[in-house]
């Protein structure tokens, strides 16, 4: 049985991220493939031009969206201990901000927001130990890549996440039937067996 000190070392406390892509783009997570997450939209943000290597203003900003206020990204909250997650859109509680966004959109003329702008309703759910462990790692990797910001709790280390119950899923976002093993740890053996049988 693990000591109290060992349990504290391996505990991953609840934490939350806000999606904040440097390219103002949406996200799909492998661990939660059925959901789409809106990134923060920051109109003052520049991106790296792939051809010249210089900073440039995104095309959508040039085409009239530069008047939009900063729009917060959707948030993903997890509690690894009870294996729950919650998807929250800060726009749901910001009528002042959604009114401003609708006003800017309507002033551009190309599209209309006659019914206003609304946030995405909150979603809550439970995951099995394997998917929660895999999701926590995916969230930390987004933080490390600068594609999200920590908005609650403390960022767990990858080592702490590896000690959570369960196993890392090999291909959690797959929507089709395949012959790959379910867990990452089984991949090397599966690949060797495939080679032995001429696969």
Q: Return the pLDDT at 83.
A: 97
pTM: 0.80
Q: Return the pLDDT at 10.
A: 58
Give tens-digit pLDDT for 161-181: 999 999 999 999 887 888 888
Please report, for the chain, the start and end positions of each structural domain, with discontinuous segments joined by +: 4-165, 169-199
- Output the CA–CA distances (angstroms, integers) from residue 64 to 42, 56, 183, in the order listed: 13, 16, 46
pLDDT of 61 > 60? The answer is no
Q: Return the pLDDT at 107.
A: 74
Consecutive H or E run containing 131: helix 129-144
SS3 85: strand
pLDDT of 48 > 70? The answer is no
Token pair of 173 as six digits: 């976002």
Mean pLDDT, rounded, of the chain: 83
Give tens-digit pLDDT for 87-129: 999 988 787 877 877 777 777 665 666 566 778 899 999 999 9
């Amino acid at each position: 049985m693990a000591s109290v000190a060992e349990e504290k070392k391996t505990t991953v406390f609840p934490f939350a991220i806000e999606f904040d892509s440097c390219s103002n783009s949406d996200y799909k997570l492998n661990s939660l493939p059925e959901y789409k997450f809106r990134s923060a939209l920051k109109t003052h943000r520049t991106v790296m031009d792939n051809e010249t290597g210089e900073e440039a203003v995104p095309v959508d900003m040039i085409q009239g969206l530069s008047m939009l206020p900063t729009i917060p990204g959707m948030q993903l909250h997890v509690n690894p201990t009870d294996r729950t997650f919650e998807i929250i859109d800060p726009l749901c509680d910001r009528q002042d901000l959604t009114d401003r966004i609708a006003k800017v959109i309507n002033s551009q003329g190309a599209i209309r927001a006659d019914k206003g702008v609304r946030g995405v309703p909150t979603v809550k759910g439970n995951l099995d130990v394997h998917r929660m462990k895999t999701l926590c790692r995916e969230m930390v990797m987004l933080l490390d890549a600068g594609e999200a910001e920590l908005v609650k709790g403390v960022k767990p280390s990858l080592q702490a996440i590896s000690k959570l119950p369960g196993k890392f899923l090999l291909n959690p976002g797959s929507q089709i039937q395949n012959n790959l093993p379910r867990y990452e740890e089984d991949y090397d053996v599966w690949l060797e067996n495939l080679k032995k049988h001429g696969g």
